[in-house]
Amino acid sequence: MEIVLLLVRILLAGIFALAGVAKFIDLKGSEKAFQDFGVSKSLALPGAVALSVAEIGIAVLLLFVETSWFGAIAALGLLLLFIGQMIYQLARGNAPDCHCFGQLHSEPVSPISILRNILFAIPTAYLVFSGRAGQGMGFSDPRLDVMQLFFGVMIVSLLMAAIFYLRTISAKQDTILKQIEVMELVARDGGSVEREELSHPHEGLPIGAVVPDFAMQNLNGSTVSLADIRSDGLPVLYIFVSSTCSPCKSLVPEFEQWQKEMSDNVRFVFVSSGKLSDNADKFGGELSKHLIVEETRAFADLMKAKWTPTAILMDANGRVASHAAAGDTAIRTLVEQIRSEDLSREFAHFTNGHNHSGTSKVGEPVPEFSLADVAGTEITSEYFRDRKTLVAF
């Protein structure tokens, strides 16, 4: 039994060490997780650092039999705090990203997250209630069989690797199931439908075009304009959805996850049409805070977002900064491009490979030239410098 307690301590130490180091490596993500849980911005970063150090310290304490009881008490207290916070957030209808293992594994809080922490708390509580003298063998214990310990550690390591592998497979299965669901929804009626009034899904406004003004309602009935959307000075990713769009509904979990992960760099706005009540039923929860609704599809038509779902990026200057990305795969690709790009870079924009005008020249200098106008005056490329000019060929 004593060697089992040693293996339990090693397992718990590994979990806390992994969590602490992963959080410390991704302090920005940890800071955001603290803010999502309601911690003030001024305390979020110090709290993230303190939690990382505490988890690493607990891992060290658990390894040595002389200190493991104190480590178990601290670990149990931390786990109970996590469980309590998760239950509180779910009770309020929130699902903040737990950021439990940094970038290695991060997911919105759910009953599964609570269950996982309860499973960690059970062996931790056993160590606490076993008392200081009941912590199992130490590494220097003469009764310790090195081979027995080695095989025990190997079994624990293989078990953790198997769990990680199964989670990876499960995530891939979820992606496949979502794609199958979309295919089934599209193919449900069978055959093809001719829609001559619709353009190619990716034929949107040209990059650099000014985004037209609008006035729509949010789910609270308040009017929202383009100026309101641009008030924080961030680029805006418009995602056009519909209360009758089944594929849109299947993407809601990803929409919510992207919002949480990228909110510091880009603002997400979901544009729908129809009745407010229908949209509230379809897009409730966290996404509803970022949803605006128009009675007709006037704004969507101006943006040439003829299909749902479609995503179009607007830069901080109010200009179109991406080609239209229609469909789940194209939207995921655009989001990943935005995630990895410095959006503050001048002329930052994204193409989807469907523009028929060749390679995008947005942001490139006008080539050197010298021509005479109808009055015989020489016009050179310097004429365009530091001014906005429309050239018609």
- Within 10 angstroms of residue 301's Cβ, the number of other Cβ atoms is 10
**Average pLDDT score, the chain:** 79
| Under 8 Å between Cβ of 287 and 255 | yes
The overall longest dimension of the chain from CA atoms, in Å, is: 103
pLDDT computed for residue 373 by the predictor? 80
E strand map for the chain: 215-218, 223-225, 236-240, 267-273, 291-294, 310-314, 325-326, 370-372, 378-380
More confident of the two residues 37 and 96:
37
Is pLDDT of 205 > 90? no
Is pLDDT of 289 > 80? yes
pLDDT tens readout for residues 5-60: 888 888 888 888 888 888 887 788 888 888 888 888 889 889 989 998 999 899 88
In the sheet that holds 325-326, the strands lie side by side as: 223-225, 215-218, 291-294, 267-273, 236-240, 310-314, 325-326
* Segment holding 336, helix H or strand E: helix 328-340
DSSP 203-246: --PPTTPBPPP-EEEETTS-EEEHHHHTTT---EEEEE--TT-H
Q: What is the rounded distance in angstroms from the CA atom of residue 18 to the CA atom of residue 33?
A: 17
pTM over 0.85: no
Q: What topology is assigned to 199-393 in CATH?
A: Glutaredoxin (3.40.30)
Domain map (residue ranges) of the chain: 2-144, 199-393
Calculate the alpha carbon distances from 237 to 14, 113, 243, 318, 322 in Å. 40, 30, 19, 11, 9
Coil, strand, or helix at residue 296?
coil
pLDDT computed for residue 70 by the predictor? 92
Q: Are strands 291-294 and 215-218 parallel, antiparallel or unpaired?
A: antiparallel
Q: What is the rounded distance in angstroms from the CA atom of residue 109 to the CA atom of residue 122?
A: 20
pLDDT tens readout for residues 219-263: 888 889 999 988 888 999 999 998 888 778 888 888 888 888 888
The tokens for 301 are 């038509």
Burial class (CB in 10 A: 0-12, 13-18, 19+), 204: buried
pLDDT computed for residue 156 by the predictor? 56
Q: What is the rounded distance in angstroms from the CA atom of residue 321 to the CA atom of residue 167?
A: 36
pLDDT computed for residue 64 by the predictor? 83
Pick from 127, 173, 111, 152: which is nearest to 16 by CA? 127
Residue 59 DSSP one-character state:
H
What mean pLDDT is predicted for residues 335-350?
79
Residue 337 confidence class, pLDDT cut points 50, 70, 90: confident
Residue 305 confidence class, pLDDT cut points 50, 70, 90: confident
Residue 84 confidence class, pLDDT cut points 50, 70, 90: very high
The residue type at 151: F
Cis status of the peptide bond prior to 309, with omega within 30 of 0: yes
The b/e string for 263-278 (b: 16+ C-beta within 10 A; e otherwise) is eeebbbbbbbbbebee
- Within 10 angstroms of residue 163's Cβ, the number of other Cβ atoms is 10
